[in-house]
Structure 1
Amino acid sequence: MSDYRQFAPATLRNREPILEVLLQVLPPTGTVLEIASGTGEHAVFLAPRLQPRLWLPSDPNPLALASITAWQQQDPAPNLAAPITIDVTQPHWSSAPTLQNALKSFPQNPPPDQGRPENFGITSIVNINMIHISPWAACLGLMAGAKDLLPMGGVLYLYGPFQQHGQPTSPSNIEFDASLRSQNPAWGVRNLEEVVAVAEAQNLKLQTIFPMPANNLSVIFQKVS
C-alpha cells in the first residue's frame, strides 16, 4: 500500500510554539481555514488541540493534498475536514464553489460546542511558511481573500521568516533568502513592512508580533472593517 505522507522536518520544531500562539490569538469558535497546508503535519497536530474550533486544510498542489489526506487517515480528528484545493493567486478564490461547499458540508458530526451552523463560518485564517516560497501575488491574493472571508474581529495568522525595516532578522535569513531566489527569482524572505502595508490596505490591522524559533515570526492581523 502506498504511503503518500510527506514530511517537513521543521514541523516538529515549530508546531508546539505555533500552537502556543494560536491558543492565545484565535477566536474561540468557528472554522480555521489553513491556506497552503503543505504536508498536512500541522493540520493533524493543531486541529485536535484547538477544539472546539473546526479546521479546514487546503493547498493548490495535488501531491500536498494527497499527503494531507494520508496524514488525516493516520491521525483523524472529529474537527478536521478533508483538504480542498485553494490557489490564492487565482482571482476570487475566496468565493470559489469548492470552499463554499466545504463550509456547508463540514462537519457531519460537529463537536458538542459547535452545534449551531453559524459557528461553522470562517473566523480565522492560518498561513504557515508560504509567502517566502511563492510569488508576491500569493501574498496579495491571501490578503484580498482574507478581507472577503473574515468577519469583523476575525484573525489572520502568518508564520515564517521576514525582513524588518529592510534588514534580515539574522545572518541565516540572508543565506536563506539567497537560496530561495536562486531557486526562483519570484521567491524570497519578505519585508514585514510591505506585508503589513498590503494587509492594512485590505482592512487587516497588525495586532502583534511574536518572535519564534529559528528566527521566524508569528504575525497577527485582525479584520477591523
Structure 2
Amino acid sequence: MQSDLPFSQACENNKAPILALLQQAFANCRNVLEVGSGTGQHAVHFAAGMPHLNWQASDQALYLPDLTERLRRAALPNLPLPLLLDIRDAAAPTVKGYDAVFSANTLHIMPWPVVQQLFARLNDFCTAEATLCIYGPFNYNGRFTSDSNRAFDASLKSRDPAMGIRDIAAVVALAGASGFSLQQDHSMPANNRLLQFIRS
C-alpha cells in the first residue's frame, strides 16, 4: 500500500477474485479500456496479472493526478498512463479500437442517464467483436440480494438520490441495445456480481 495515494480497501479485497475471472474472459483480448479506474489499484493488479494485453485506465479529471501517479510508479510495460474520459462529455475525443471494456463499481454511482450514455458509447469504444465485463452489486426483479446491499443502496441515495444499485434486467437491456449479449453472471464475494457480455 502506498500511503500517500488514495487507497480503496474494497479494491484490495476483490482484486484477486476479479482477476481470476478476467483471465478467462479476456484470454483472447489485446486492448482493454477500463472505465472509471479510480485509485488505479485494479489497473495495476490486472495489468500485472495479464501481461498479454494492454490495459488502458481512464477516469474523470478529478481523479486523474493520483491515478496517473500510481500507474507511473507501477511502471508496467502494458499499463500506459490513464486517459481523461468523462462519459457525460459527448464532445470529448472518442477512444477507439478496444476489444474489451471493464468497469467496476461505477453503475451505482453514475446517475441512470449517465449509465445509459455509457452503454450507448460502447459502439464508439469497441471493435466489432468485443467483450464487456461489469463488476458490482445488482438487484434481481427489483429486489436486493442481501440486507447489506439494501443498506448500501440507502447510503448511496442519502448522498445523492440519483445513485443506487441497478436492476440487472435494465443493464442487460442497455447492453443488448449496443449489441452485447450476457454470457455469464458470476457470483462474487460481498454480494457482488461480475457480468460478462460478448458482442459478435
TM-score tier, shorter chain, comes to over 0.9
Pairwise CA distance, 1:70: 1.6
Report the counterpart of residue 30 of structure 1 in structure 2.
30
1:181, 1:215 → 2: CA distance?
Answer: 19
2:41 corresponds to 1:41: yes
2:159 corresponds to 1:219: no
Pairwise CA distance, 1:201: 1.2
Asked if 1 retains the 8 angstrom alpha-carbon contact of 2:38 and 2:59, the reply is: yes
Structure 1 pair 29–201 and aligned structure 2 pair: CA distance change class (3 A):
closer
Report the counterpart of residue 85 of structure 1 in structure 2.
84
TM-score by length of 2: 0.93
Superposition pairs of residues 102-113 of structure 1, within 5 angstroms: none
Superposition pairs of residues 1-225 of structure 1, within 5 angstroms: 5-62=5-62, 64-91=63-90, 96=93, 99=95, 121-224=97-200
Deviations 1:61-91 (A, max 9, x none): 32x2112112123222000010111011222
Q: Give the aligned CA root-mean-square deviation in angstroms.
A: 1.6
Percent identity of paired positions between Structure 1 and Structure 2: 36
1:32, 1:5 → 2: CA distance?
Answer: 24
Pairwise CA distance, 1:92: 5.9
Q: Secondary structure at the match of 1:131?
A: coil
1:17, 1:88 → 2: CA distance?
Answer: 27
2:8, 2:106 → 1: CA distance?
Answer: 13
1:7, 1:157 → 2: CA distance?
Answer: 23
Structure 1 pair 58–4 and aligned structure 2 pair: CA distance change class (3 A):
farther
Identify unmatched segments of 5+ residues in structure 2: none
Asked if 2 retains the 8 angstrom alpha-carbon contact of 1:6 and 1:39, the reply is: yes
TM-score by length of 1: 0.83
**Which structure dedicates a bigger proportion of its chain to helix?**
1
Pairwise CA distance, 1:151: 2.2
Pairwise CA distance, 1:128: 0.6
1:61, 1:83 → 2: CA distance?
Answer: 10
Larger gyration radius, structure 1 or structure 2:
1
Pairwise CA distance, 1:27: 4.6
**Which structure dedicates a bigger proportion of its chain to strand?**
2
Identify unmatched segments of 5+ residues in structure 1: 101-120
How many aligned residue pairs are there? Answer: 198
Asked if 1 retains the 8 angstrom alpha-carbon contact of 2:30 and 2:53, the reply is: yes
